[in-house]
Chain A
């Protein structure tokens, strides 16, 4: 045979020939699973069809010959009036793409076989349903009919189990035909063999739908690749009491609990479960005992062999277990982390495998802060639970109440967290929804426009809170006898649908993060890395420590900006017109006041303090940068105003002594060994001063690394800024979506936000090799990488492979960074 392969003869690796679905089924057969028999019409046949516009000579003879083999293996006959064989026909391209023909189930029904189905299942109603479903699927996928057969479905639904099968078939088929006739002159073939021919050709045809072509154009997929066709015997879970169908996960995909999790519905087809016609029973218990034992043993074996949690669809036909589909199970972030840890403990996965099974986003989602359950309980006690609507997008948020889109935008622009409440939502509310942290609507369900928009934005949302009487004109919300005014604090839980009066503080629940800690603790010793967290205020220290930070970094400009002292300092400078003793004293006192509590909280954590950077993007407006630098051009040079550096060095030294903490001062933008020496000379003038270090931001600085840093200093390099300078892109554009999103998508650049550029890599590699080592017992270069914004696994991996072992990241990114380092260290 030239064009077709039985599942058991096919090589699962040959995806190009078999397509994705065919290869998947061949793989199941290789795994030793009982799969309903079937065969693949290869992509070679499709390629000939595409070239000539007609089915290749001899192809259909082969299709029919393979069908005979199926009949022999299953003991059933296609179109038979005794024990009819029905088949499914699916498209299967080597690459999943849009526009391809969907599945047709139950193909092979004509009057005689339909009557036989009614007799075998003992139900004319089931047969009528099957016929209507097949007819609809065929009409939609092969004939391209758009309308659903509503009228025909009604005819099928009216058929009772005991009706005469002959008459019922005729009535349902006629009703279906009538529905199709409204749209096209074509008809669904009544002969099973013609149905098969039509379906195979439709699969080939679907290769050239507009959508498929567009997709291939944009993804550079060759137009002559072609698709395969999978023809497979149907098995029936509704033939007898010892038949049924179900789905099983090898572990609970919501919690990760290591128990089989699934559903089984006796005497039913899989579609009944999907359509919600009947409620399935939880596993185990509902299945025939022998079939369940086989399922359980198979699950255990497959999980070990595949090293992953699997999602398995199966049917039991007269006590025989058939596997329809085995896939990697989707899972919640919590489950993903727990499963990875458990599989590691069980020896199914090694550390590399376990760390590779978790993504940085999983860890971020678990770290997402929420309300303290005790606060929520107290609020309920106080009667602050206003109402419970439908949770439409999860998230626990507090904010000030806004009743119009415009007001939400104004409040957000003024720096408030906003909860927008609307009676109904229209497109004109979009801007307010974008500006808000939370959205509540009085109407609508979990599939309303508001819910769709909220989920697209990732904004916490409660819909259908019908108890809320929202009076937009009066600026009031009434709930029972309680009245809230616009501007009042409110809170909502987008998962539970609860809406509260008042605000809650948010924190990451310890219980949720224990599993993360367990996994990352295993990774820590392997990486040999230290991760510093960026903090500004004392309350940020504990979360940083809890996430596994072994050090902290902070910046004097951030410390002073947070307390309003930066603006005052700049005013003093401008007023005095030069760097006077008064200016230096104000700076020194300000830093001591703001830094001491932070260092006290830091305890045994090393703290890197960066001196004020008068060129900083972030504090540009607060510092009146343009005016300030026009008056004091020397401030744009790192060692341009030594007195200010001396004041900060004195301040950090005093704060460290007062608090007993370990700290060092680094100066941004140093780019020459002479500057580093000048900084050291300043330090030498101050007895007992904390260590100083360079903070590199330019390619030049990196290339002079060996002569700029010393083993006993803690120097840093700001990767984003160096990368931006290499590209000639403003560094701030590496923290925003645009303009790079569109640019990267057009293929004009590899994303400099997530990938270390080869040119930057070739700058770092020799510089780091020549750099002093961190210490006698530590062979890593005496340099830490400062990463801003979200860390990316490829970037962290590249820096790790360059030998860097010290990193500084935002507090929320400590765990993602630890995971990325673990993945890099284990070769993931």
Chain B
């Protein structure tokens, strides 16, 4: 009997094995997937941009001889005591609750050693982080967990959180496994419940109210503290303009690559915009208002290296913030714990069930035994090393572009490898003068 060639099995590009597995999981459990981290999908990002080093038309600075400064002032608009940081890479807000006490201590140690700031999170201020952070930014969140005027007065800046990149429009989530006695006490909640923070502030809505809320916080702190307003990357032009109008000293803009301790996967992957698309719009809003560099812009979401720092600053940011990269520097997802990641049904580099509180690296947990694995002194040293390497890398690029300060990097130093990134970042496609959406042809 003649054997005819058969059509080989073919998977659908729409119903992929991963999609089908998720449908089966949802059907079996009746609950959406919750996880930590930021988006895992491919997005136009800083990798799609390249720097145009100096040549005949402009000259470079000597790598090991000529100065390239890295410091940054934040909060110069209204605050009596603006912040001065040695490097423009700050640590983003991450809560005690999401992270262990020793992990928060390590963030403070590392940031302080590198000359930068760290930030509280949706759980109030801990002694560990205040004690080990030379410059501490205190988040003012919809939940107001742990909020009190004494901590407002002992912080160095206040960050009013309107949204975050992983979930613009969403509230916080900390599931029962991580609501230990200490976390429950700080948040005035029963132990072990699934805590869902509100997505809106309880006592103001809209930009006109925000202006009055900022006035109140300034009055309570006698106009000393810089006031940041943090927004998730969704409508960055208008959000930035409205934050400036409301009286912010600093705008913090978080793209969809920014992480979260726990949120629905569908939210992380389908709401918000990549940071590359957000920065130029925010910078344009500041420029249109004549406030660029007067109201400082901190951007975050997928910053991993000095190259990313330099690119964000070339697009007009005054500083950046890192969260996920800082956790990896501390030891999150380290292959040394591979055997334990396997037991949790995952692998090093892909572990994202931070909400379950079983982190083998002892960072995203409240379990005493697991968190005891993490050494905050060593973790702080690792973070400090990483921050210094990022800064050196950014300086290397800036000198190659002929800049004696990271803030002198500019969009003209960049080109894009893809049409998408060129359109989003507002820089020309490599080898052309074409900025899609801004000018007509090549």
Whether A associates with B in a native complex is no
Query: Which residues of B line the A interface, CB within 8 A?
Result: none
